[in-house]
Amino acid sequence: MSGSDSAAAATGQAATGTLDAARAWLAQDPDGETRAELRAIIEAAESGDDEATADLADRFAGRLAFGTAGLRGELGAGSNRMNRVLVAQAAAGLAAYLIEKASLAADAPGAAVAPSVVVGYDGRRNSHRFAQDSVELFAGAGLRAILLPRLLPTPVLAFAVRQLGAAAGVMVTASHNPPNDNGYKVYLGGAEEGAQIVPPADSEIAAHIQRVADLGDIAALPRSLGYETAAESIVDAYIEATAAVAPAPVGADGFRWVYTAMHGVGWETLSRILDIAGYPQPEPVTEQLNPDAAFPTVAFPNPEEPGAMDLAFETARNAQAELIIANDPDADRLAVAVPDAGVDGGWRRLSGNQIGLLLGWQAAKHAAATGAVDGASLACSLVSSPGLQAVAEHYGLDFHATLTGFKWISRAPGLVFGFEEALGYLVNPGTVRDKDGISAAVAMLGMVTEARSRGAGLTDLIEEFDETFGYFSSDQIAIRVDDVSQISRIMAALREQHPSAIGDVAVDHIDDLLDGVDGLPPGDVLRLWLADGSRVIVRPSGTEPKLKLYLDVRGESSDDAAARIGALSAGARAMLEHLG
């Protein structure tokens, strides 16, 4: 057999294997929509349609990986998509993991005989269906399964895990991902205090999920309608606790501000909190206020994306507002914008670092004022602004830099505040052990209205921060790729030959976090320290096909910081172009 014949035979065998996998998947799929979708693709592939064959190959090239963010991906049929088969396998695998852990702890005092799991869901396509499947499978496995009473923000689910003493929680959401995505985020209770999963739990759960998948028939999994629906009191408790984060100061009346929920689930909960905390209701972006799984006004429902806040800017101009606050669709992130006559449209969105530094400053001042400094700490991801460390040192607090993600930030010892530059903030760790865009919004309103009562605004607070702690400036470069292997090639090239300079500034030394640095768990991250104290961090995105670079400088003045970050950004882009 010639080489070309051997290649053709191998291709044919692969196609046959993919068709077999697709037919097996079809046989167990309980969803009429994805069954019809997959059946049509199989039939087209069987008739020799190359496009359908390639589509099948993509859908069954592997499985959506279950990692420290659980599952997240595009909706559709196949093992490489989010669907009811994959969710059923995940629920059964998580149930098996919890039962195993409970069995191992059976001799411990107070060990639970039947672990409990609480499940929440947002307004995305299939979120309710995936949540319903999950509680039925949890109950069928013998767990105490609790479904939140309606679609709610992710922080309410994280709160409920602790409030109900659950062994675990599941939130069905894809957060700020594109409209046709969904996801399955897992939290652990007990000693984990309602934080997201970290190794080794993620790999242990994934192994159980794989065992379920290998059986090949989710119809054989036991189900039960014997689950509970959580009482409204759990939502009420979250609202009361969050309103207490920052009750409105005297003089908050008359404050004009705009709010957008980005077609998500934040508004109902936030509006009730505002009444209890004493803040005036905002001028809403009505087109984006209520949950809508189609996200009709935004191509990408992420407040960081260009154009996502245009309707909020328009609403604010018409209302002559003083502030804009936005949540992402599941309300675990917060975006803030301020009036700025120097930019087109008259409004400027603050960066995640600017918001995080202001909220961290507020938390540190409160800790110092209440005498709660000993053992208290501020924490942020290692790609977030080093300015938070300056705040911690100023007030005598501990500081922790963690790997990216709130699964790590929330575990910092003595935490009173944590943030990551991607619009995530933890302002009330005693209530929610995860990022929470609603409590962060309340904290921001408290800070802004207090400043307003003395004639200052948010931009004045930023200037005061700079004068107190230093002129920190940050930038980010994100390279989206079609072939994720390109990211691996760039990371490998950087490791093989470290750059000697970025732009005109020499590289002083490089930390490779694959080796573990500063007590951090190993991670695919390179941290480049420059001779002038600037910093460049390179890492693959954990949720998107992107390579990300995070740039940080500290200047002698705002103009100096701006010049330094501009030069560093140009140098970093030139480095990437050289690497190809």
Average pLDDT of every residue of the chain: 93
Query: What phi, psi does 487 have (nearest 5°)?
Result: -65, -45
N-term to C-term CA, the chain = 39
**Residue-wise pLDDT tens digits, 8-29:** 444 555 577 899 999 999 999 9
What H or E segment, with its residue span, contains residue 540? strand 535-540
> What's the CA gap between 269 and 288, in Å, rounded?
15
Q: Which residues pair with 536 in a beta bridge?
A: 528, 551
178 HSE (CA, 13 A, CB side): 8
Q: In what order do the strands lie in the sheet with 424-426?
A: 398-402, 377-381, 415-420, 424-426
Residue type, 189: G
Assign 545 a pLDDT band (cuts: 50, 70, 90).
confident
| pLDDT over 80 at 113, yes or no | no
Structure tokens at 563: 């010049």
Are 356 and 341 in contact by the 8 Å Cβ rule? The answer is no
Alpha helices, DSSP H, located in 244-309: 266-277
Alpha helices, DSSP H, located in 396-436: 406-409
194 Ramachandran zone, left/alpha/beta (phi>0; psi -120 to 50): left
| pLDDT over 80 at 338, yes or no | yes
Instruction: Kindly name the residue from 79, 127, 175, 381 that is annotated as catalytic.
Output: 175
Q: Which residue has the tokens 């607070």?
A: 461
Helix axes 437-452, 154-163, angle to 10 degrees: 110
Query: What phi, psi does 254 have (nearest 5°)?
Result: 90, -5
Query: What phi, psi does 220 have (nearest 5°)?
Result: -80, -10
What H or E segment, with its residue span, contains residue 125? none
The domain spans of the chain are: 11-61, 67-231, 237-469, 471-579
pLDDT for the residue 543 = 66
| pLDDT over 60 at 108, yes or no | no
> What's the CA gap between 328 and 335, in Å, rounded?
8
Structure tokens at 102: 């409970």
Are 365 and 395 in contact by the 8 Å Cβ rule? The answer is yes
Maximum mean pLDDT: which of 102-106, 316-320, 522-526: 316-320
Q: Which residue has the tokens 């999963």?
A: 197
pLDDT for the residue 521 = 82
| pLDDT over 80 at 485, yes or no | yes
pLDDT for the residue 14 = 56
pLDDT for the residue 516 = 78
Residue type, 62: G
Q: In what order do the strands lie in the sheet with 323-327?
A: 283-284, 257-260, 323-327, 334-339, 347-349
116 catalytic? Reply is: no
What Cα–Cα distance (Å) separates residue 305 from each residue in 292, 341, 351? 18, 21, 12
Assign 251 a pLDDT band (cuts: 50, 70, 90).
confident
Contacts of 248 (CB under 8 A, 6+ apart): 277, 278, 279, 445, 446, 449
Q: Which CATH number fits domain 67-231: 3.40.120.10, 3.40.718.10, 2.60.40.10, 3.40.630.30?
A: 3.40.120.10
Whether 67-231 shares its CATH topology with 237-469 is answered: yes
Residues comprising the chain, all counted: 580
- Is the bond preceding 200 in cis, omega lying within 30 degrees of 0? yes
Assign 7 a pLDDT band (cuts: 50, 70, 90).
very low
Contacts of 345 (CB under 8 A, 6+ apart): 310, 313, 317
What Cα–Cα distance (Å) separates residue 572 from each residue in 504, 548, 552, 569? 11, 11, 12, 5
| pLDDT over 80 at 172, yes or no | yes
What Cα–Cα distance (Å) separates residue 501 from each residue in 18, 510, 528? 48, 11, 10
CA nearest 549: which of 509, 508, 502? 502
Are 155 and 172 in contact by the 8 Å Cβ rule? The answer is no
Alpha helices, DSSP H, located in 111-153: 127-140
Greater confidence, 251 or 301?
Answer: 301
Query: How is domain 237-469 classified at the CATH fold level?
Result: Alpha-D-Glucose-1,6-Bisphosphate; Chain A, domain 3 (3.40.120)
**Residue-wise pLDDT tens digits, 430-475:** 999 999 999 999 999 999 999 999 999 999 999 999 999 999 999 9
> What's the CA gap between 28 and 296, in Å, rounded?
33
Say what the pTM is: 0.93
Pairing of strands 415-420, 377-381: parallel
Rg (alpha carbons) of the chain, rounded to whole number: 25
pLDDT for the residue 6 = 46
**Residue-wise pLDDT tens digits, 25-61:** 999 999 999 999 999 999 999 999 999 999 999 999 9
> What's the CA gap between 31 and 5, in Å, rounded?
40
Q: Which CATH architecture has domain 471-579?
A: 2-Layer Sandwich (3.30)
> What's the CA gap between 259 and 484, in Å, rounded?
36
Pick the range with the lowest mean pLDDT from 357-361, 479-483, 530-534.
479-483
**Residue-wise pLDDT tens digits, 186-244:** 999 999 999 999 999 999 999 999 999 999 999 999 999 999 999 999 999 999 999 99
What is the pLDDT averaged over residues 402-412?
94
Greater confidence, 275 or 344?
Answer: 275
Structure tokens at 223: 């189900």
